[in-house]
Every structure is written in structure tokens, then in C-alpha cells.
Chains A and B, each alone.
Chain A
């Protein structure tokens, strides 16, 4: 009986440790996010660092985001055509493609691709700076590491993602258009007309809001895990993996939440 009670207390203790550990991590992340936001707003500002990060995050992500959107838009048009043909709705290809791309695939796939490229790079760079004491060195050189390293990255990602997703949406629709007009027999002018007529301003706004939120998440996860990495090269590797995995999960979760809030009542 005593042994059973002892085992039960052991299980409760393990659950308690797990819950407390989880809450501590969430608390640390929320505090870090608050500081990150504060450091993007309050001076001193580092405009050169911001421009540099806009290039790294925005400009250099354009090829991967564009190609992902092009291929996905084309594949989507093909699938909608096949599926729609089964109940004489093949003509819905332009409308469904544009809604699917702008509302979901453009921001989500764009966000995931940028997370894979940028969160990992940020975590690896900041993690290496942590283990080589470069972050401590910043402090002794009259520079707040959060302001210098985190603020510009978070602001740049939040600004760059909507622009990237705008491009992603256009290229995704273009992919569907190219496939539909060259392989599925759609009239070009008719396709464009139906695409424009079905697209609502809400679709574009929700897409850009999602993109800004995803950009914030991407930079936050990369910076948080990199900034707190420890344990040498292995620690930097762990930080990189954690940054990408947590960014992916948070992007998908926040996408669901925004979708339900914006479109759930319609």
C-alpha cells in the first residue's frame, strides 16, 4: 500500500515538474517577446542593421518563396480541375485557386519556407555569438544585445513577410493561370476576369495580417532559441532545430486562430 502511494506521488511529481517546466518556458518566451517588441519601438535605433536584415530576410527569401508559390498554385489548379470535373464544376478553377492561394497557401507555405530559411539562420548565428561570448562582449561595449541583435531582426521579419506573401500570392495565382491556360483549355482573359471578381479585399487583408504575424513568430523563435543557446556546438544545433520546429508549429496554430477569427462567422 505504501509502495503504491509512493508510486502515485512519484507520478504526480513528474506531472508537476512537466507542467511547471512548460509554464516556465512559456513565461520566459512571453517576457522575451515583450522585450523584443519594446526594443523595436524604443531608441536607440539601428537603421543600418534593419536594412541589412530586410535584405537578408526579404530579398534573399524571394526565390524560394516565389518558386514554392508558382509550383503550388499550378498543382492546385490541376487538382481543382480534376476534382471539380467530377461534379461539373471545373469552371471554378480560377475562383478556388485564388481564394486558396491568397487565404491559406500563400501565407502559410511562404511562412514555412521563410521559417526554414530564416529562423534556423538566426538561431545558428545568435547561438554561435552566445557560445563565443560575442553577446557578452556587446554588453561590455555599451550596447544592449537585445536592442542591437533582436529588435532589428523582429522588425525586419514583421515588415518583410507581408511583402513576400504579396509576391507569393501573385506568383501562386500566376502558376494556376499558366497551367490552366496552357494545359486545361481555359481562356486567358476569362480566367483573369473570374480571378479578380472572386477575390475580396478581406482575403488580401487577412493574408497580409497572417504574414506579419508569421514574420514576428519566425524572428522571435530564431532569436529566442539562439539567444538562450548553451552547451557549445551541440547547443547551437539544438537551438537551430528548436527554432524551426517551434516556428512551424506556431505558424500553423496562429494561422488556424486567425482563420477562425476572420472567416469563422462567414
Chain B
């Protein structure tokens, strides 16, 4: 449970795709200003969980409330107002290929500000993630994977959202760049005083970013607690995942010839 009042409250949420039950009665709270990391293997429904909170995916059952507003019933302008509270770093960056870097970063800023002001704001946000003004006019395809992640991070924070979501922020990066991204996330969440929800299977990242960690397995949150307790959770599923062991209660589905 969060130490502060819950800003995001997920109760008994289920989501099925065809025969596959991806989320099976999820309960999760994220407090104001808290950084929660949801860990779990590939295909366990982590992305489905955050997309459901964002209102991008409808849930089959359950309740999701953000700032006391029930999300599952929102439509039209009310849904757009809900989504405007969030900034999100997507797994692959999801930068717009057709736009230069500065237009990507300034995308959520009011267009009435004019191009010069928007570009200045974009450059300021790029500086915040350690990138110079020289990248502002480049296309996303001209950047390395680590730079793309940082541009995507700058874009996510540009409009100063109250809640930040990070989807596998370190996937595909070398360990040093992954640590740079983790440090940036920690700094930005503290500095901007935002509520953060991260999904990852990178334990180094989880231990660095999280105030609290929850583990998703078989569609349920099977354990949650403060970051410092993750190595002594007393849960054999968590232990297997944290230590990356093939042997244990979590069995990978392997097809035999």
C-alpha cells in the first residue's frame, strides 16, 4: 500500500483477449508522488495494465480511478482530459518519424505559442535529459537508441504531466545507457513531483526507480512491497524472477517438436 493517499486505484480489473485471460482481478494503488514499478515476465499483461489505466484499452471487469475519477466509463472530451494528465515513455520511443526532434518534443505544447517559442521549449527539455540543441533539427532515425529514449523522455515531460508512465524504459539499451536513463527517471520524478508507474523486467532498473515494487504473474499481483524488501520478499515466484533462475515455480511454456 502507498504511504500517501492513492492517486491511481485499480480494483478487481480483468481483461481477456480471446481465450487468454491477461489480467485476472488486479488490485493496485499508486500514491501521490510515489514511484511504483510493476515487474513481471514478457506477456504477463504489464502493458495491458498501463494501457487500461490510460483508457487506451477497455477492461472487461473492475474499476480504475485516477484522482477519484472512474476511468472505465469515460468517453470523448472527459477521456481526453483524463489522458492529458499523463506523460508516457513508450518501449520503442514511438517518436514520429516524419517530424524533427524538436517538433516531437514540443508536440503536446500549445500550438498558439508559435514555432520559435515551441522550439525554445523543446531545446530546454532536451537539455533536461542531457541532449544539446544540435539534435533539435535531426530526424529520429538519425539518433542512436539511447538518444531516441532520451528524446522520448523529453517529450513525455514537456507538458509537465502529473503522472508519468514508463514502459520498459531500458529495453534495448546497453547497461551504461540503461543506468543513465534510470538516473534521469529518478531525477525527473523527484524534481517534477510526479506520480510514476513503470513496467519492466529489468531488476536493476526496478531497484533504482521504485519506491515500491509489485510483481504481476498469471494475471494477478502476487506480491508488492517496498523496494528494499524485494530481495527478501519470502515469495518463491519473486525470488525466482529477481534472481533470473530457470528453475522454480514459474515455468516457461516451451513447445516440443
Chain A complexes with chain B: yes
Bound Cα distance A139, B155 (Å): 13
Given A139-B54, A141-B155, A143-B107, also A133-B83 (CB < 8 A): no
Distance in Å from the Cβ of A257 to the closest Cβ of chain B?
A: 34
In the complex, whether A266 has a CB less than 8 A from a CB of chain B is no
Cβ of A187 under 8 Å from chain B? no
B170 CB, nearest partner CB in chain A, Å: 17
Residue of A nearest to B152 (CB): A137
A112-156, CB < 8 A from B? 132-134, 136-137, 139-144
Q: Name the residue of chain A whose CB is nearest to the CB of B84.
A: A142
Q: B90 an interface residue at 8 Å Cβ cutoff?
A: yes
A132 to B90, CA, bound (A): 9
Do residues B54 and A133 form an inter-chain contact, with CB atoms below 8 A?
no
A137 to B96, CA, bound (A): 9
Select from chain B the residue with minimum beta-carbon distance to A139. Answer: B83
Complex CA–CA separation, A137 to B156 (angstroms): 9
Residues in A with CB closer than 8 Å to B90 are: 133, 136-137
Closest beta carbon of chain A to B88's beta carbon, Å: 4
- Are B107 and A141 in contact, with the CB atoms below 8 A? yes
Choose among B51, B91, B92, B159 the residue that contacts A142 (Cβ–Cβ < 8 A): B159
Contacts of A144 in B (CB 8 A): 80
* Mask: chain B, 33-72; 1 = CB below 8 Å from A; 0 = not: 0000000000000000001001010000000000000000
User: What string of 1s and 0s marks CB contacts (under 8 Å) between B76-98 and chain A?
Assistant: 00001001101110111011110
**CA of A144 to CA of B77 in the docked complex: distance in angstroms?**
10
B-chain residues with CB within 8 Å of residue A141 when the two chains form the complex: 107-108, 155, 159
- Interface magnitude class on chain A: 10 to 19
The B interface, classified by DSSP as helix, strand, loop or mixed, is loop
Contact partner, A140, options B87, B92, B95, Cβ 8 Å: B87
- Contact call A142/B54, Cβ cutoff below 8 A: no
Known: A139-B56, A141-B155. A134 touches B96 (CB 8 A): yes
Contact present for A140 and B91 (CB under 8 Å): no
Determine how close the nearest CB of chain B comes to the CB of A14; give it in whole angstroms: 19
Answer whether A142 and B88 are a contact pair too, CB < 8 Å, given A132-B94, A134-B94, A136-B51: no
Q: Are A136 and B94 in contact (CB under 8 A)?
A: yes
Tell me if B51 and A140 are in contact (CB < 8 A): no
Residues of A within 8 A of B88 (CB): 136-137, 140
Instruction: Say yes or no: A140 contacts B83, CB within 8 Å.
Output: yes
> Mask for B138-176, Cβ within 8 A of A = 1, else 0?
000000000000000001100100000100000000000
Question: Given A136-B51, A136-B56, does the pair A142, B80 have CB atoms closer than 8 Å?
Answer: yes
Q: How distant is the Cα of A265 from the Cα of B184 in the complex, in angstroms?
A: 72
Q: Which of B51, B87, B88 has the most CB of A within 10 A?
A: B88
CB neighbours (8 Å) of A139 from chain B are 54, 56, 83
Q: How far is the CA of A141 from the CA of B90 in the complex (A)?
A: 12
| Residues in B whose Cβ lies below 8 Å from that of A132 | 92, 94
- B-side interface residues toward A, CB under 8 Å? 51, 54, 56, 80, 83-84, 86-88, 90-92, 94-97, 107-108, 155-156, 159, 165
Q: Which residues of A contact B (CB under 8 A)?
A: 132-134, 136-137, 139-144
Q: List 14 A-B contacts (CB under 8 A).
A: A133-B92, A133-B94, A136-B51, A136-B56, A136-B88, A137-B88, A137-B95, A139-B56, A142-B80, A142-B83, A142-B84, A142-B108, A143-B107, A144-B80
With contacts A140-B83, A141-B108 known, what are 11 further pairs, Cβ within 8 A? A132-B92, A133-B92, A133-B94, A139-B54, A139-B56, A139-B83, A140-B54, A140-B87, A140-B156, A141-B155, A142-B80
